[in-house]
Structure 1
Amino acid sequence: MDYRDILVHIDASKAMPQRIEAALHVAKRFNARLTGLFSVFQPALAPISMIAQPPGYGFADDALRSEYQDAEESMFRKALARVGIDGDWDFSTLAPNLAMPRAARLADLVIAGQRDPQDPESFIAEQFIENLVLSGGRPVLLLPYAGRFTEIGNTICVAWDGSREASRALHDALPFIVRARKTIIFSINASGETDAPRFGTDRIAAAVARRGANVAIEEVDGVHDISTGDLLLSRAADFGADLIVMGCYGHARLRELFLGGVTRTLLKSMTVPVLMSH
């Protein structure tokens, strides 16, 4: 398996140029086609989301939105030509929480950005990333709003607990894993019971190694004074990881999305790119 079609979410946030550069590097690495989809906050189409509209938001005017769209399209097409990558540009008049998941289902990998609380233009829709991961049906490579990430997946930390979500994320990340210099399967026994089952850590590591990957195992017992999400971020930094792979825990009920604690922590505090699958 490989990523042949990659979709990158395009908006007008300050982090957009860095996101495009990261997407270009990922597409080049996998010889993939890269499509940019412009989708931004649309108060006229989703009035209920105005409740969460941040102060100073600048897309209330359709003409201004069109101006941003033209500028982003020009930048994206020039970037494709500069790197020599096959790709295309698209936009949608649908609300982002409809447009992005629908487009995601046609891709092998989706690239999106973490919301920057200091940048009003990075607000796309209420629970935008959560909705994309939980309903898009494809792995989402989420980039932090701060920093440049042109090298992704050289050292990978996989959060493993044997769950369906963890297995899905690991297998969705295999194109990265088989190319990585090192992959650490990281297992946390949050109960502190050292005799508790390890959810097949050894067996999944062996299965990944059979694909030619360089795999190591890291197991931690007795987590009491730090949240699992914070521990995962801390250990990933210790490993020198430039990519975290994890299952996204949660479900949709009525109009609200419920996420697990680790997922919420990573969405808020991520410091390196995170590949999430549900």
Structure 2
Amino acid sequence: MEIRNIVVGLTIDAVDADLIALAVDLARHHKASLTGFVAAQPPVVASMGAGDVAATLYTEQLNEIEASVAAARDKFAELVPASIKHKWEGRVQQPALGLIDVARTADLIVLGSPGEVRDDGYRTIDIGEVLLGAGRPVLIAAAGSAKLKASKIIVAWKDTKEARRAIVDALPLLKAATEVQLVVIDEGNLAVERASMLDAVAWLESHEVKVRGEVLPNEGGAAQSIASAAQAADVDLIVSGAYGHSRLREWLVGGMTRDLLATPGIHRFLSN
């Protein structure tokens, strides 16, 4: 796989210049095109019989969203140099659903770290929904970071389809890294875990990745063990499978994925 098309998902209320700079740097490094995406949806639904008050409120919210999308487009155009092939996708739509739709044009989706405040997905991108629905790898950038070094990478390995998919999707980054550490958490079946780890290491080596494997003790949960190893090794990026499932119309990410999303100060590359 090569990274030739990148989509950066932006928040309509606070277009992140650092996130755009990181996406631009990635696009330049991989000679990729860059698409800026933003979307929002009025929380008030206009419908026949809803009444004049609801219809007026909907129109006001729609006008505000359209103006905010135009402002985000202008800022994106201002921050992306002409040397980078780029385009814009601004929509009046539920943000995660719009981004999942646009994801068919992408090799990689770049998002900012999740904030503490949620608004039911009307104006912000639900990262869990995108992870489980886009069918594309997602890079969640560390807050305030304008560059992805990725010279040292930790791969959180478990013999699952999600982890297998993640190392394939991340291969362009893994091959460019100077040091890759593939770690598996000791969950009580060490012989099996070590065997699958060694197979994954051998597969990466066959693709000319400079990698070593290690079994980590489970101290405070898998995500905490991985984050501690990443901090000790001074790595810039964690690669992992994204685990979860859908229940009716609700997207649910598993505990480890949720904990990795909450890990501050480090970039996370996740595939489902």
Q: How does 1:171-186 map to 2 (within 5 A)?
A: 171-186=168-183
Answering whether residue 72 of structure 2 is matched by residue 76 of structure 1, we say no
2:208 is aligned to 212
8 Å contact from structure 2 (residues 69, 91) kept in 1? no
8 Å contact from structure 1 (residues 39, 96) kept in 2? yes
Q: How does 1:218-257 map to 2 (within 5 A)?
A: 218-221=214-217, 223=218, 225-257=219-251
Percent identical among aligned pairs is 28
Structure 1: unaligned runs, 5 residues or longer:
47-59
1:10 is aligned to 10
8 Å contact from structure 2 (residues 184, 193) kept in 1? no
8 Å contact from structure 2 (residues 179, 211) kept in 1? yes
1:138 is aligned to 136
Between 1:86-95 and 1:163-172, the stretch displaced more is 86-95
8 Å contact from structure 1 (residues 229, 265) kept in 2? yes
Q: Deviations over 1:162-213 (max 9, x none)?
A: 111100011100010111111110111123x544442521121122122222
Check 1:41–1:154 CA distance in 2 against 1; reply closer, same or farther (3 A cut): farther
Q: How does 1:1-278 map to 2 (within 5 A)?
A: 1-14=1-14, 16-44=16-44, 61-81=61-81, 84-117=83-116, 124-125=123-124, 128-144=126-142, 146-191=143-188, 193-221=189-217, 223=218, 225-278=219-272
1:54 is aligned to none
TM-score by length of 2: 0.87
Q: Deviations over 1:24-75 (max 9, x none)?
A: 01111100000111113532359xxxxxxxxxxxxx8333323322222122
Distance in 2 between residues matched to 1:64 and 1:199, nearest whole Å? 56
Q: Deviations over 1:79-115 (max 9, x none)?
A: 2225x10010111222223211111122100111222
Distance in 2 between residues matched to 1:62 and 1:271, nearest whole Å? 36
Secondary structure of the 1:200 match is: helix
Distance in 2 between residues matched to 1:272 and 1:96, nearest whole Å? 24
8 Å contact from structure 1 (residues 112, 143) kept in 2? yes
Q: Larger Rg: 1 or 2?
A: 2
8 Å contact from structure 2 (residues 38, 95) kept in 1? no
Distance in 1 between residues matched to 2:15 and 2:122, nearest whole Å? 12
Count how many residue pairs are aligned between Structure 1 and Structure 2: 260
Check 1:155–1:13 CA distance in 2 against 1; reply closer, same or farther (3 A cut): farther
Secondary structure of the 1:19 match is: helix
Check 1:45–1:171 CA distance in 2 against 1; reply closer, same or farther (3 A cut): farther
Q: Deviations over 1:226-275 (max 9, x none)?
A: 11111111111111111110001111010222322110101223421111
One-letter amino acid of the counterpart of residue 127, structure 2: I
Check 1:260–1:118 CA distance in 2 against 1; reply closer, same or farther (3 A cut): closer
**Shift >3 Å, 4+ stretches:** 12-15, 60-64, 122-125, 193-197
Between 1:99-108 and 1:212-221, the stretch displaced more is 212-221
Secondary structure of the 1:252 match is: strand
Distance in 2 between residues matched to 1:161 and 1:119, nearest whole Å? 31
One-letter amino acid of the counterpart of residue 177, structure 2: A
Q: Aligned-residue CA RMSD in angstroms?
A: 2.5
Check 1:109–1:45 CA distance in 2 against 1; reply closer, same or farther (3 A cut): farther
Structure 2: unaligned runs, 5 residues or longer:
47-59
TM-score by length of 1: 0.85
Check 1:77–1:175 CA distance in 2 against 1; reply closer, same or farther (3 A cut): same
Distance in 2 between residues matched to 1:22 and 1:11, nearest whole Å? 15
Distance in 2 between residues matched to 1:240 and 1:187, nearest whole Å? 18
Check 1:149–1:14 CA distance in 2 against 1; reply closer, same or farther (3 A cut): same
Q: Structure 1 residue 14: deviation in Å?
A: 4.3
Distance in 1 between residues matched to 2:128 and 2:222, nearest whole Å? 19
